[in-house]
Amino acid sequence: MKSPTSNDRGALLPAKPRIAVVGASGLVGGQIMDCLQEREFPSRSITAISPRGNQPAAAADADLVFLAAPTEVSRLQAPRLVAAGCLVIDLSPAWRLDDDVPLVVPEINAENLRMHHGIIASPNCTNVPLVIALAALHKQRVIEKVFVTTMQAASGAGRPGLQCLEGGPNPFAKPLVGNLIPQCDDFDANGVSAEELRLVVETQRLLAKPQMKIMASCVRVPVAVGHAMTVHVELRDSFSVDQARDCFASMAGMQLYKRTDYPSVLDCVGNDMVHVGRLRQGNESNELHFWLACDNLRKGAATNAVQIAEELLPH
């Protein structure tokens, strides 16, 4: 039987919830199914449901629903599922900026789960590794400016992106194979892509720093899985490389590389860590440069969503 308080503010899950994964046949949905098994998530049942048509309505019998579906599906179905007594973890952009929906990366703001009303948003896959790294530094020094250039795998565009690398139709604005495309999603009138805007506003919200200055450039690269990025931060006060390394080494979910080593995207595929290397001082003593890599389908998306669910189990 469902918990009668499943729609109450901050409600927890039953000890062994019934789970539905809407979009389980997609890249992220499939990873959620794998992640639930790998992490031995306690459940009475796990059901895979298609996001097409009215099929998500079948998830209404579940205690917990992962919505790995297009934005329009999440907008329509999430309120219906909550009304039916489900707790929804949504992986689309549909609810990430809604003031009544917590946007959560458990390593940095799990306490916000106490404020949920039935829907919880998991961030964009590019934001997750970035905010974990920024949060590690921000504990010791105020970050004033961030400049980030991302290199995003084809799988960030879903199965059509992967199929493109295998000779299928190209879903991108320009050919991807043997190429780099400085466009991830559509541009607005000012030439800012929707992905770049997400990177800015979601990072500001996750860090609870709406005034933080962030400049992002997002580039699609001909790699199957694994997002990487180069990050430049300007802090309010001086901060040494050694101090920054200590911050990263003590941050949950981060793997710090030796000074002369660095992660490639192949190092991060198939695991749930945020990999950081090439940490070095900028021109000024308050400037730092570093390199991040992360599996965009796992920690960037599926694992983060499952970790949210783990926080909602009764302890």
CB atoms closer than 10 angstroms to residue 186:
10
Distance CA 208, CA 231 (A): 19
Tokens of 184: 């991830």
227 is a catalytic site residue = yes
Distance CA 161, CA 158 (A): 6
Choosing from 227, 268, 275, 294, the catalytic residue is: 227
Choosing from 125, 184, 218, 294, the catalytic residue is: 125
CB 226 within 8 A of CB 153: yes
Distance CA 64, CA 6 (A): 9
Residues classed as catalytic:
125, 227
